[in-house]
Amino acid sequence: MGSVQLPSTGALTPPATPTITRHRGQSFPSSPPQAITSLAQHDQSPSLGVPKEFPVGTQDYDMDIAKPLGTGLWSNVFLAIPSSPSTTASDLTPPVTPVKSEHSRFESSTTAPPRAYAIKMPAGRSAKAVLLAEAKALSQLSSIPNSQDHVVPFYGYDPRNGALVLEALPQSLEDYVLQQLNPLDAATRSSSLTALFPSWAFSLAKSLAWLHDTTNFVHADIKPGNILLKPTSSLPCSDAITSSHNDFKPLYADFSASFHLTAPPEKPTAGATWDFMAPEQLSSNRELSAPTPASDVYALAVTLLFVIIGDSPFAAAGSNRILKRHMIAQGDAMGFAINNDNVARQRLEDLEGRLEGRCDVGRVLRMALKKSKEERPRAEQMADWLEVDLGDPPHAL
């Protein structure tokens, strides 16, 4: 998904060439190929049985279906602008089987509408169960104080179309690295990376510790594309995308593969992405291959390595899935990243040199990338190692 130009506070206009439509009555595209696996089966626990619902009686949105922000097997994401609800009888049909006692625990987390929504729609009828499960997970997470500091704000599940209503953010961590960091000359990239990496790495590790220790959730699909950057300055989002200020907060997104530790899925989910999977997840033994907090730590370490070197550590495998699987199984992501790539090695060495005495980045990543999951640090310990005296670092691009 590319960078998203969000409307400024002064003019809530959608992107160029919009096709704005009311979301009600949307017909679903044809179902995706029958690759539907147990991802839709993790109906976490009775306590997660009812998702927080989008307040259709008091809020609504106009959705741009002409230019999706992203598409995938399970869902399509569209930009939407907050609007006043219609008052027709059909539009005000109550949610299916409302249970006030269940929903009351989410009332305190209801907030004013954001500048723009990201509407995550099921890609087909078979995918509705997947998004419903994600809605339940996000409902639990968003009910916990300060969740907005760790995960993308969730405004509720829309029962009219089976969509998740989230805050629209301008870009992902993957976008930032590929579109803004990598095109820079070596010296500028190095200084920009030095300015942003310590705070972002620490923030992501702390948020993962919150996810594991406070909420008891496993994310199960951590990667740069599932981390969104929220502007923290007063600049309009459209300006913040190209701002020279390091004013972004990384937040975890896409909880379609996530589950509560007290109720893991019966089978390994299909949500993980190969380049960010831990070696044990390739095992044919279901118990060994199931996502764990340790595999989340490994995925975060590969993600941070991606930020540093600008590519997957397994990029040399190209489209050869057999070779990539073999490389991942070796449990040597750091070695594959730098041993035969002078540019990647130099980028890591430059960052280590610039942060010398403040944070031993290479050592932290090597510990988190241990092949044996028992040898990896917990997310909280990883955060402790990554915490540095930031002082007043130079602003990143």
Residue keyed to tokens 């390994």: 268
Helix (H) or strand (E) holding 328: helix 321-330
Radius of gyration of the CA atoms of the chain, in A: 21
The DSSP line for 237-297 is HHHHTT-SS--EEEEE---TT-EETTS--SS--S---GGG--GGGG-SSHHHHS--HHHHH
CB 280 within 8 A of CB 373: yes
78 class by beta-carbon count within 10 Å (0-12 exposed, 13-18 middle, 19+ buried): buried
SS3 state at 230: strand
325 class by beta-carbon count within 10 Å (0-12 exposed, 13-18 middle, 19+ buried): middle
Q: Whose CA is closest to 103, among 155, 52, 58, 45? A: 52
The residues with which 78 forms a beta bridge, in sequence order, are 119
As a whole number of angstroms, the distance between CA 68 and CA 175 comes to: 16
267 is in an annotated binding site: no
Cite the annotated binding site by residue number: 100
The annotated binding site for ATP is made up of: 100
